[in-house]
Homo-oligomer: A and B are copies of this chain.
């Protein structure tokens, strides 16, 4: 459900039903109306470990298309001859996603790009003093002149064109707004803001996007590096301010420690507008997609990754476990089943509580009263003080205790339930 529809039908309804969702007062907000430009095959190729051969690129492109990303961005055909051939090959796959390539603001690059058969070209040029001095050495007049030439050339081929500055947050605001207005007037499809060094913070992002929104009539795309850990929050805040396209890559791979990760952004957006996200993206494919890319670039999924990190849906402290068992919404803003995953209540440790142990007792099918559950919980906590526990430790304490208080019961009760629990555990 988009934010606009929400507020039109019933002003304030979004606030009451979902207090951490889009703010209906944010008339510019696109939190419920955004698109993804997936750049694993461009920004991601700049990741230290990335070497994608043609076959792997095609496999990744198809997986991204199944997930439902709106655009797939590819390395410039000017980077190398194979990059150019791969661009052509992916354009011929007939994917639902639109195919883009990302070039410097040069006519040579633009001609190569258009010839590959892409649906659109993303042009970038450094506008900060740093990049103007140490990278390309051009002034703003030269930048504007070459931008206009490249844009008009690409437009003449009836494909999409984006113009982006690089290092936008360290560029002169007047220079930026000037060139964005110029390219908007000659009819780009979108302008891009890039936090190339990962220095931006959310309130800065909000202000720059909102200001830009008042200058241009085209769409606004944002690209955030994650050096200071704000790439997801900055993307979210940019959407609140009126941007409507976000650059992402699988696991965030890119230069240095990368950009806004696809999975992390999905976590943020589903918390804000679940209906919109569920209607567009095939979230149950996320884990396979991340595994595919992680394997290709030889990294492990970070233990603390949103959604797919091994502990993302694991609950440990006694008071958390108690409440989660009563109602998962108490300590979960995301539902693991939305991603084809399961929840795990961690009960084999000294922080456990009797509600978690009672739930385990029931899974084991070994009837105990509440007072007996509290008594066996104290035994488990005492053992957990001495050493790290695993599930078998807890189960054997419970079984022994159950045998003591129910001498008539056999020792093998509950095996099937135990196996079921282990499957759930592996599912996380």
Contacts and interface: CB of A to CB of B under 8 A. Distances in A.
B20 A257 contact: no
A328 to B, nearest CB: 10
**Tier of interface size on chain A:** 35 or more
A323 B46 CA distance: 15
A257 B81 CA distance: 42
A202 B234 CA distance: 9
Interface in A229-263: 229-230, 232-234, 236-237, 240, 251-253, 255-258, 261
A303 interface: yes
A257 B202 contact: no
B202 A350 contact: no
Contact of A317 (B46, B134, B332): B46
Nearest to A334: B227
A134 B326 contact: yes
Contacts of A204: 20
A5 interface: no
A202 B233 contact: yes
Interface string A321-359: 011001101111110000000000010011100000000
Interface string A296-334: 000110111110011111111111101100110111111
Contacts of A227: 267, 271, 306, 312, 332-334
A135 B322 contact: yes
A206 interface: yes
Interface in A134-178: 134-135, 167, 169-170
Nearest to A198: B333
B268 A385 contact: no
Nearest to A47: B311
B387 A51 contact: yes
A306 B51 contact: no
Interface in A265-314: 265, 267-268, 271-272, 299-300, 302-306, 309-314
Q: Which 6 pairs across A and B sit closest by C-beta, in order of nearness?
A: A233-B233, A302-B302, A82-B385, A229-B232, A202-B202, A51-B388
Interface of A: 19-20, 23, 45-49, 51, 53, 75, 79-83, 104, 126, 130-131, 133-135, 167, 169-170, 196-204, 206, 226-230, 232-234, 236-237, 240, 251-253, 255-258, 261, 264-265, 267-268, 271-272, 299-300, 302-306, 309-320, 322-323, 326-327, 329-334, 346, 349-351, 381-382, 384-389
20 contacts: A46-B317, A46-B351, A48-B314, A51-B349, A53-B387, A81-B382, A131-B323, A135-B319, A135-B326, A201-B272, A202-B233, A203-B206, A227-B271, A227-B306, A228-B268, A228-B334, A229-B268, A257-B306, A258-B304, A302-B304
